[in-house]
Structure formats: structure tokens, C-alpha cells
Structure 1
Amino acid sequence: MLEVTVCVGSACHLKGSAEVIRILKDLIAAYDLGDQVTLAGSFCQGHCTDGVVVRVGEELITGVSRDQVYDLFQKKILGRCRL
């Protein structure tokens, strides 16, 4: 199971983490990956000045905007799943 967490702390929330979560949730559903990917919110990842923080497995990705979510999904999540 691939664990994906998105920071929902104050700084990330203000920079759009709720929208990032919504898009990831929609993509996971669209690709029917609910049995392979868990999506959760988390609090501070220690990179508050770097924008929305997403952790995919052990990899920390900073500065994620809503416009980057599809590319992040394709490169970091979809490739680790069985289709």
C-alpha cells in the first residue's frame, strides 16, 4: 500500500493543500487505485515556507501547487501502482 500524505497545517492550508487533496482524491478514484493508495492529511512536515508539502511513501515533495498535482500523480504515484 502506497501512503500519500498532504500537509494540512496552517501554512500549507493557506497555500492550497485542500485543493491538492481534492485533486489527488479524484485522481485516485478515477484510476481506481483505492486499494493501492491511502491518502491522508498530516500536520507540519517542517517545511512551512516551501509551500504545500506532499509525502509519497518516504519521499518528501515541497512546493506543490494545484497546477502540479496531475504531473506529480503521474510521476510519483501512478508508476508505483498496478493498473
Structure 2
Amino acid sequence: MLITICIGSSCHLKGSRSVIQGLEKKIRENNLASKIELNGSFCTGECEKGVCVKIDEELFSVSPETVDRFFEEEVLRRVH
């Protein structure tokens, strides 16, 4: 599974670094490093949506506060 996190200016200011760190932590905790690839990208053109995160081609708006719930609800159900 490929997860792409926007690291463009707007998403950076909204916490993309914290989102990346949160996802890395959850991937480690769940021993999923061999199944999930994290990737960064510059602007996705959806700046008003917050930190833009794509799973394959599906776009989500994630914040540092919602990263754990995003992982539980969207990532885990797709990886198992």
C-alpha cells in the first residue's frame, strides 16, 4: 500500500511533519513496514483541505490530531 503525504507549504504549516511522524509510529507499532510505503509529495492542489494524504489515489484530509483515527479507520482496514 502506498500512502502519500503532501509536504507543500500549506500542508507543512498545518502539520504534515507531525502527520508523517504519527503514521511512522503507527506503522512500527503494528509491524506493517513491509506492507506500507510512505511517500511525500509537493502540493496536491487541495490546500484548503488541510494535510492532504492519499491512499493509492483516494484523498483524505488528516491533521496531527486525527492521524491515529485515520490510521485505525482507513489504513488498517485496507492492509488486512
Q: TM-score, normalised on structure 1? A: 0.91
Q: For residue 7 of structure 1, what is the aligned residue in structure 2?
A: 6
Q: For residue 39 of structure 2, what is the aligned residue in structure 1?
A: 40
1:1-83 correspondence to structure 2 within 5 Å:
2-62=1-61, 64-82=62-80
Structure 1 unaligned residues grouped into runs of 5+: none
Percent identity between the two aligned chains: 43
Structure 2 unaligned residues grouped into runs of 5+: none
Q: TM-score, normalised on structure 2? A: 0.94
- Given residue 39 of structure 2, which amino acid in structure 1 is its aligned partner? A
Task: Could you list the structure 1 runs, at least 4 aligned residues long, displaced by more than 3 angstroms after superposition.
Answer: none
* C-alpha deviation, 1:74, in angstroms: 0.8
Aligned length: 80
Q: CA RMSD in A?
A: 0.9
